[in-house]
């Protein structure tokens, strides 16, 4: 019986060139047609592993983990400050499928920040928010709104503890009026008290002092956030 030898398949020139051009492992900087720059690890022509992306148009930088071409894992996103030509970190935390997802801290501006859980680029889960006017909310979030159980300490000394829905007080809750020394406890609907009791506390509100929250920029260019027992320091440069 004759022995049939399998024919050897010789790859075409285009296939050889394609294999050579496939990006896998660590690479030097790779520039896109629009001027964006990426330096880091690759897998099958996708950003995968650790890497740094610089967007030319905005000047923003992402430094962290990637998965099949998208930000995934832990990383920091920084923006370019046009007046000083320096970088300030905007978000530092976890990512999934290119979006903020998991635990992270986000700076809205120099005096407003959120630290807590994220889901698909929205505040969802438990988190603390320092608002620009000095109010502080600590509690549950859903789809970027206060939703669930939470405590809000207002800059004027008032505070509310109870249920929230779509960013408004809704359900059972307590509201302390610092200027009047009165405590309201009862039902809330769309941010308004509807049915409950109003108790005169005689101006004694030392049981619930307002903490001094601050977002500071030290001489070294570091942002320091103090949200209750949390202290986070983020370098303003990359």
CATH entry 3.90.960.10 includes domain 111-217: no
pTM: 0.76
Query: Is the separation of the CB atoms in 63 and 84 below 8 Å?
Result: no
Tens digit of each residue's pLDDT (9 = 90 or more) over 109-125: 888 999 999 999 999 99
Those residues whose C-beta lies under 8 Å from the C-beta of residue 51, and which sit 6 or more positions away, are 38, 39, 40, 41, 64, 66
Q: Whole-angstrom Cα distance, residue 3 to residue 80?
A: 70
Give residue 17's pLDDT.
41
Who contacts 71 (Cβ-Cβ below 8 Å, separation ≥6)? Answer: 62, 64, 65, 95, 98, 99
pLDDT digits (tens, 9 = 90+) for 195-227: 889 888 765 544 444 444 454 444 444 545 444
pLDDT at 10: 61
Q: What is the pLDDT of residues 57-116, one digit of tens each?
A: 999 999 999 999 999 999 999 999 988 889 999 999 999 999 999 999 999 988 899 999
Q: Collapse the DSSP code of 146 into the 3-class scheme (helix H, G, I; strand E, B; otherwise coil) and give the result.
A: strand
The domain locations on the chain are 111-217
């Amino acid at each position: 019986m004759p022995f049939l030898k399998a024919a050897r398949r010789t790859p075409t020139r285009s296939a050889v060139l394609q294999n050579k051009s496939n990006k896998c492992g660590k690479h030097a900087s790779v520039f896109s047609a629009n001027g964006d720059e990426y330096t880091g690890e690759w897998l099958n022509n996708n950003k995968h592993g650790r890497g740094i992306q610089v967007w030319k148009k905005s000047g923003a930088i992402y430094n962290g983990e990637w998965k099949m071409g998208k930000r995934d894992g832990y990383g920091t996103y920084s923006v370019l400050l046009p007046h000083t030509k320096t970088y300030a970190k905007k978000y530092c935390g976890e990512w999934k499928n290119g979006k903020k997802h998991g635990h992270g801290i986000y700076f809205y501006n120099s005096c407003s920040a959120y630290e807590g859980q994220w889901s698909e680029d929205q505040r969802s889960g438990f988190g603390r928010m320092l608002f620009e006017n000095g109010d502080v909310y600590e509690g549950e979030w859903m789809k970027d709104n206060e939703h669930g159980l939470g405590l809000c300490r207002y800059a004027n000394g008032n505070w509310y503890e109870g249920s929230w829905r779509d960013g408004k007080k809704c359900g059972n809750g307590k509201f302390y009026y610092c200027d009047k020394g009165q405590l309201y406890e009862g039902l809330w609907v769309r941010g308004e008290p509807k049915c409950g009791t109003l108790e005169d506390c005689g101006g004694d509100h030392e049981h619930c002092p307002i903490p001094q929250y601050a977002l500071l920029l030290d001489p070294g260019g570091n942002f320091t956030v103090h949200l209750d027992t949390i202290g986070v320091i983020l370098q303003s440069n990359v």
